[in-house]
Amino acid sequence: MNKMHDPDLGNCVKPAEAAASIPPVYYTSDSVASDEVETVFRRGWIGVGRADMVRAPGDFITLDFAGQSIILLRDKTGQLRAFANSCRHRGARLVDGTGSCKGLRCPFHSWFYGLDGKLVAAPHMERAHDFDKADNGLLSYRAEERLGFAFVSLSPNAPELDAYLGDFAELHAPWPMGQLVTVRRQEVEVDCNWKIFLEVFNEYYHLPFVHADSIDSVYDKPDAPDVVTGAYASQFGATEGTGGLLEADQDKSLPEIPGLTGKARKGARYTWIFPNMTFAANRDALWCYEAYPLGASKCRVVQTSCFPPETIALPDFEKKSAAYLKRMDAALDEDIEALVNQQKGLACPDARPGRFQPDLEPNVAAFARWYSGVWV
Ligand code: FES
Ligand SMILES: [Fe+2]
């Protein structure tokens, strides 16, 4: 671990009113990016998206992060499993992309693993002394599901997920998160550090300047940030109409998520589960992003849009949901332009940490506080 990157990280621990941002070198240095693989991505829990990426037993998807490929799959009992995408014989990659299978067969010498990761068959291995299939199952990682989100930990020393998330489930109880269904999942590479991608999604300050003609007028001034106990930050804000549509498309709104009560019916909750997954829970839809570093100045972003099954069943769903997806892409394009520009500015060798607008950027300050802890 490297504590040498910048002594000013200490200013990140202050309250948003007094804090300074994470120093620019943390967004631009390749040595920081390489250290983050260990300090951030291989240590705690990583949000890897919506658990309905793998719906039925045998469904799998390969996920690339923390310098490796991971197979996320649903086993026969319906449990999520995560395995290293590396054969225990001589290391070949087992699968690519997504699919459905009865087990994992290595394309090289045909070793076959069950959905529980156990080695089931290994051709012609009888002559190998003391070869026991039970010792040659896939390397397995912890995989869990909460509120329809999938989490993976590459570290046996990470705390229990519920201890890590604290009161996350309680704060989000008004939304039936676990029942929402993914309608579109897409990936894009962005020329910026993974942290600034998540930051911009979690702050209201840029709305009138970056999204002036698209979504700004939909969002009211947000509430004070929630005081939470887990490794996440959250801020609710009322909206005029729905945050899921452009200003010009508000007449295309879909029904409310069934069962919402109170202020959940009136706006959007923006939540960032540290380090890399964030989402907006709206009155009618949920959309999420994960960001994964590809070096210091590039990241891979996954965007997922979800709706309740009742809404998806409506005859005009396809037509109306297209307007929601259009809004996601429009705001993303506007953010990407701002982020690429921010990344260029951060690369100035003399760039310094900056101060936060406490009411509009508290989630960014909360992340900086959490992030400073990973280097201790
Ligand atoms: S490397 Fe997989 S069976 Fe040989
Ligand atoms: Fe934005």
Residue that the structure tokens 């949901």 belong to: 321
**262: CATH:** 3.90.380.10
Amino acid type, 21: S
Instruction: Name residues contacting ligand 1 (CB within 6 A).
Output: 87, 89-92, 106, 108-111
What is the average per-residue pLDDT within 110-138?
Answer: 98
Q: Do residues 179 and 230 share a domain?
A: yes
Identify the pLDDT of residue 1. 38
From ligand 1's centre to the CA of 107, what distance in Å? 7
Please write the tens of the pLDDT for every residue from 193-215: 999 999 999 999 999 999 999 99
Q: Do residues 66 and 39 share a domain?
A: no
From ligand 1's centre to the CA of 127, what distance in Å? 16
Distance CA 204, CA 354 (A): 17
* Token reading at 150: 């999938």
Judged by its nearest atom, the ligand closest to the C-alpha of residue 109 is 1
Q: Do residues 232 and 339 share a domain?
A: yes
What is the average per-residue pLDDT within 46-51?
Answer: 98
What is the average per-residue pLDDT within 26-42?
Answer: 97
From ligand 1's centre to the CA of 95, what distance in Å? 12
User: Which residues are CB-contacts of 337 (< 8 A; sequence separation ≥ 6)?
Assistant: 210
Distance CA 33, CA 37 (A): 7
What atom in ligand 1 is closest to the CA of residue 111?
Answer: 3
Q: Does 165 fall in a domain? A: no
Identify the pLDDT of residue 8. 80
Q: Does 357 fall in a domain? A: yes
Please tell me the number of Cα atoms within 13 Å of 143 on its side-chain side: 26
Pocket probe for ligand 1: among 88, 109, 112, 124, the residue whose CB has the most ligand atoms within 8 Å is 109
Q: Do residues 185 and 61 share a domain?
A: no
Q: Does 141 fall in a domain? A: yes
From ligand 2's centre to the CA of 202, what distance in Å? 8
Nearest by Cα to 291 from 46, 68, 97, 5: 46
What atom in ligand 1 is closest to the CA of residue 109?
Answer: 3
Q: Do residues 223 and 132 share a domain?
A: no
* Token reading at 240: 């005029």
Pocket probe for ligand 1: among 85, 86, 106, 119, the residue whose CB has the most ligand atoms within 8 Å is 106
Q: Do residues 55 and 202 share a domain?
A: no
Q: Do residues 255 and 344 share a domain?
A: yes
Q: Do residues 181 and 288 share a domain?
A: yes
From ligand 2's centre to the CA of 289, what distance in Å? 12
Determine which residue's CA is closest to atom 1 belonging to ligand 1. Answer: 90
* Token reading at 49: 């998206």
Q: Do residues 203 and 305 share a domain?
A: yes
What atom in ligand 1 is closest to the CA of residue 94?
Answer: 2
Measure Cα distances from 290 to 166, 188, 275, 298 in Å: 20, 11, 9, 14
Is the link from the previous residue into 15 a cis peptide, with omega within 30 of 0? no
What atom in ligand 1 is closest to the CA of residue 122?
Answer: 3
* Token reading at 322: 């297209």
Q: Are 11 and 19 in contact (CB under 8 A)?
A: yes
Please write the tens of the pLDDT for every residue from 260-306: 999 999 999 999 999 999 999 999 999 999 999 999 999 999 999 99
What is the average per-residue pLDDT within 178-184?
Answer: 98
What atom in ligand 1 is closest to the CA of residue 106?
Answer: 2
Distance CA 264, CA 287 (A): 15
254 bridge partner residues: none
Identify the pLDDT of residue 191. 98
Q: Indicate the pairing of strand 59-65 with strand 68-74.
A: antiparallel
User: Cα angle at 45 between 328 and 148, to 5 degrees?
Assistant: 50
Please write the tens of the pLDDT for every residue from 97-118: 999 999 999 999 999 999 999 9
Judged by its nearest atom, the ligand closest to the C-alpha of residue 196 is 2
Identify the pLDDT of residue 6. 54
Distance CA 90, CA 362 (A): 48
Distance CA 371, CA 12 (A): 8
Q: Do residues 69 and 122 share a domain?
A: yes
From ligand 1's centre to the CA of 88, what distance in Å? 7
* Token reading at 221: 């001034």
Q: Does 169 fall in a domain? A: no
Domain boundary among 132, 158, 184: 158
Rounded to a whole number of angstroms, the CA Rg of the chain reads 22
The total of structural domains in the chain comes to 2
Q: Does 101 fall in a domain? A: yes
Q: Does 265 fall in a domain? A: yes
Secondary structure element (H or E) that encloses residue 99, with its range: strand 98-100
**78: CATH:** 2.102.10.10
Q: Do residues 136 and 241 share a domain?
A: no
Print the domain residue range for 31: 7-43+175-374
Nearest by Cα to 115 from 107, 105, 126: 105
Q: Do residues 232 and 323 share a domain?
A: yes
Residue 4 pLDDT exceeds 70: no
Q: Does 166 fall in a domain? A: no
Give the Cβ contact number of residue 328 at 10 Å.
Answer: 19
Amino acid type, 130: D
Is the link from the previous residue into 275 a cis peptide, with omega within 30 of 0? yes
What is the average per-residue pLDDT within 165-172?
Answer: 98
Estimate the crossing angle of helix 194-201 against helix 317-346, to 10 degrees. Answer: 130
Average pLDDT of the chain is 96
Judged by its nearest atom, the ligand closest to the C-alpha of residue 107 is 1
Determine which residue's CA is closest to atom 3 belonging to ligand 1. Answer: 109
Amino acid type, 229: T
Pocket probe for ligand 1: among 83, 87, 138, the residue whose CB has the most ligand atoms within 8 Å is 87
Domain boundary among 129, 158, 187: 158
Distance CA 213, CA 216 (A): 7
From ligand 2's centre to the CA of 366, what distance in Å? 18
> How many residues would you count in the chain?
376
Domain boundary among 133, 158, 183: 158
Residue 246 pLDDT exceeds 50: yes
Judged by its nearest atom, the ligand closest to the C-alpha of residue 121 is 1
User: Which residues are CB-contacts of 160 (< 8 A; sequence separation ≥ 6)?
Assistant: none
Q: Does 168 fall in a domain? A: no
